[in-house]
Structure 1
Amino acid sequence: MSESRSNYTPRPMSSKTTYALGAVALALIAVIVFVAIRNGHDEVSVRNDGYGSAHDPGVHVMLEPDGSILLGRPAAPKTIDIFEDPICPACGNMERVYGQEIAQKIDEGKLAVRYRLVNFLDARSRSKDYSTRAIAANQCVAEGGSGPVYAKFHTELFTTKRPSEGGADLSNDELAAQARIAGAPESVLQCVSTGAKVDAAHTSAKTTTDALEALLGGSAATPSVFDGKTKIDVSKEDWVDVLTR
Structure 2
Amino acid sequence: MSNSPSDYTPRPMSSRTTYALGAVALVLILLIVFFAYRWGSDNAEVRNDGYGSVRNPAVTTAVQSDGGVRLGLPDAPKTLEIYEDPMCPGCGNLEHLYGQELAQKVDEGKLAIRYRFVNFLDPKSTDGAYSTRATAALQCVAETGSGITYSKFHDTLFTTRQPEEGSGLSDDELATMATDAGAPQSAHDCIATGARIEEARTQASAAVEDLKAALEGDAATPSVFDVATKIDLEQHDWVQQVAP
TM-score (norm 1): 0.83
**CA offsets, 1:157-183, max 9 Å, x none?**
0001111111x3110000000000000
Displacement, 1:214? 0.3
Distance in 2 between the 1:40 and 1:66 partners?
A: 33
Distance in 2 between the 1:39 and 1:185 partners?
A: 41
Distance in 1 between the 2:135 and 2:37 partners?
A: 33
Note closer, same or farther for the CA distance 1:238–1:222 as it changes in structure 2 (3 Å cut): same
For residues 40-55 of structure 1, the aligned pairs below 5 Å read: 42=38, 43=41, 44-55=44-55
Distance in 2 between the 1:244 and 1:183 partners?
A: 28
Distance in 2 between the 1:113 and 1:143 partners?
A: 15
Count of residues in Structure 1 that have an aligned counterpart in Structure 2: 211
For residues 206-217 of structure 1, the aligned pairs below 5 Å read: 206-217=205-216
Note closer, same or farther for the CA distance 1:159–1:41 as it changes in structure 2 (3 Å cut): closer
Displacement, 1:126? 1.1
**CA offsets, 1:110-145, max 9 Å, x none?**
010000000000000112100000000000000111
Distance in 2 between the 1:40 and 1:153 partners?
A: 27
**CA offsets, 1:57-101, max 9 Å, x none?**
010101001100000001111100000000000000010000000
| 2:227 alignment counterpart | 228
| 1:162 alignment counterpart | 162
Distance in 2 between the 1:118 and 1:46 partners?
A: 25
Distance in 2 between the 1:115 and 1:198 partners?
A: 17
- SS of structure 2 residue aligned to 1:61: strand
Structure 2 residue runs without a partner (length 5+): 1-29
Distance in 2 between the 1:80 and 1:220 partners?
A: 18
| 1:18 alignment counterpart | none
Distance in 1 between the 2:73 and 2:224 partners?
A: 19
CA-based RMSD of the aligned residues comes to 1.8
Structure 1 residue runs without a partner (length 5+): 1-33
| 2:170 alignment counterpart | 171
Note closer, same or farther for the CA distance 1:67–1:41 as it changes in structure 2 (3 Å cut): closer
| 1:9 alignment counterpart | none
Letter in 1 for 2:224: V
* Larger of the two Rg values belongs to structure: 1
Displacement, 1:51? 0.5
| 1:106 alignment counterpart | 106
- SS of structure 1 residue aligned to 2:240: helix
TM-score (norm 2): 0.83
Counterpart check, 1:242 vs 2:244: no
| 1:78 alignment counterpart | 78
For residues 48-197 of structure 1, the aligned pairs below 5 Å read: 48-166=48-166, 168-197=167-196
